[in-house]
Structure 1
């Protein structure tokens, strides 16, 4: 009998874990489920700060996900931990500030690969800007589009991104 295959794992990070990282997590969960790969992935999101621990995603994030057919996403904000750097194959940040902070707080030795989610965007948009401070739902829709493209490409080419 073959040994069970280890799940691939991904953690999405942003500043507060209520907008971009939760959007990406919801999209990636949906893509994995739609492709019948739910038993092959461990998926989560977290914040760099602790402001929104235990809080659900921003209403605008949830409205945008629902508008795009993702109606079953649930999450409560949490802060990244040192063990996350060992537990996940890839940790995705959304912008240069996220990546800089991830590099500051990472343990001396860890196994996770640290990448900008935008590195997976086939359209080449590297930075996913924080839509939180604007009052325009279009900012959340832009984040959705960027995260969707990047998450879909990452799922289709995960071996390349994880092993390279």
Structure 2
């Protein structure tokens, strides 16, 4: 049976697409890509149809990951379709819990809860002046996605 995971952040241009790309790369490396359905989405609609932030794409490319993903907004059907929906911070989790329709089956969690370094919150690097926050985000997503895969 295929397992499914949806990564969420505020705009789906920094953190959630990085987690999406990292997770897809990890499952390909492990040869289990046929066992997973992976996607990412936004809480808000500001960037729908656009590609992720250029800085996120640049960091991914430096790490050997080519990624393209049109931004989409989370929909009510996602809460029944996906097994896991991961938010990046407590605000994402609050928003997801309030958006979840009755009868939702998705497990809503912080992606950082799987970080072996116990950094629960994946900080939004969008307003940073440099790329450091995007590297931090990548590394935290990598640790957390590995931790989640090991647990599942």
**TM-score bin (small chain):** over 0.9
Q: Distance in 2 between matches of 1:106 and 1:8?
A: 19
Does the alignment pair 1:60 with 2:55? Answer: yes
Q: Which runs of 5+ in 2 are unaligned?
A: none
CA RMSD of aligned residues (A): 0.6
Does the alignment pair 1:88 with 2:82? Answer: yes
Q: Distance in 2 between matches of 1:79 and 1:40?
A: 24
TM-score, normalised with respect to structure 2: 0.98
Task: Report what 1:45 is aligned to.
Answer: 40
Q: Distance in 2 between matches of 1:74 and 1:58?
A: 11
Aligned-partner SS, 1:43: strand
TM-score, normalised with respect to structure 1: 0.91
For residues 64-75 of structure 1, the aligned pairs below 5 Å read 64-71=59-66, 73-75=67-69
Task: Report what 1:139 is aligned to.
Answer: 133
Q: Which runs of 5+ in 1 are unaligned?
A: 1-5, 159-164
CA-CA distance at 1:69 after TM superposition: 1.1
Does the alignment pair 1:157 with 2:151? Answer: yes
Aligned-partner SS, 1:23: helix
Deviations along 1:110-150, whole A, 9 cap, x unmatched? 10000000001011000001000111200000000100000
> Which residue of 92, 96, 99 maps to 1:102?
96
Greater than 4 Å deviation, 4+ residue runs:
none
Aligned-partner SS, 1:122: coil
Task: Report what 1:27 is aligned to.
Answer: 22
Q: Distance in 2 between matches of 1:90 and 1:120?
A: 13
